[in-house]
Amino acid sequence: MQLYIALIMYCLVTLLKQKTGYQGSQLDLKRYIGVSLYELLLSFARKLYGKGKRQPRGRRKVDHDRIYQETLRQVISGEADHLNDLTYDPVML
């Protein structure tokens, strides 16, 4: 009996994954179903498609070559007066 229940649950989760277009794993989908079993369908959909808690963006990569080329272009064209300003930050372009 337990084997039949497990197979039926696997088939239902697979069908739900295909119908909703969920990109995560089947185990995550099954966990969302278990957590949202007694909640509204809207709550389940938010957990399924929501971004959840804010994720860290990680360390930003700075394109130093692009900043150098832009600064060099400004110096050559005579537009480098703003470089004496202490509030100017070329990284925040």
Asked, for residue 79, whether it belongs to a domain, the answer is: no
Asked, for residue 32, whether it belongs to a domain, the answer is: yes
pLDDT computed for residue 2 by the predictor: 93
Asked, for residue 84, whether it belongs to a domain, the answer is: no
pLDDT computed for residue 11 by the predictor: 93
Asked, for residue 44, whether it belongs to a domain, the answer is: yes
Asked, for residue 14, whether it belongs to a domain, the answer is: yes
Q: What is the pLDDT of residues 3-44, one digit of tens each?
A: 999 999 899 989 988 888 888 888 888 888 887 778 787 777
Domain hosting 26: range is: 2-49
Using H for helix, E for strand and C for coil, what is the string for the chain?
A: CHHHHHHHHHHHHHHHHHHHCCCCCHHHHHHHHHHCCCCCHHHHHHHHHCCCCCCCCCCCCCCHHHHHHHHHHHHHHCCCHHHHCCCCCHHHC
Asked, for residue 30, whether it belongs to a domain, the answer is: yes
Q: What is the pLDDT of residues 57-82, one digit of tens each?
A: 677 777 888 888 888 888 888 877 76
Asked, for residue 68, whether it belongs to a domain, the answer is: no
State how far Cα 13 lies from the chain centre. 24
Instruction: Give the whole-angstrom CA distance, residue 93 versus residue 34.
Output: 47
How many separate domains does the chain show? 1
Asked, for residue 40, whether it belongs to a domain, the answer is: yes
Which has the closest alpha carbon to 45: 32, 27, 28, 31? 32
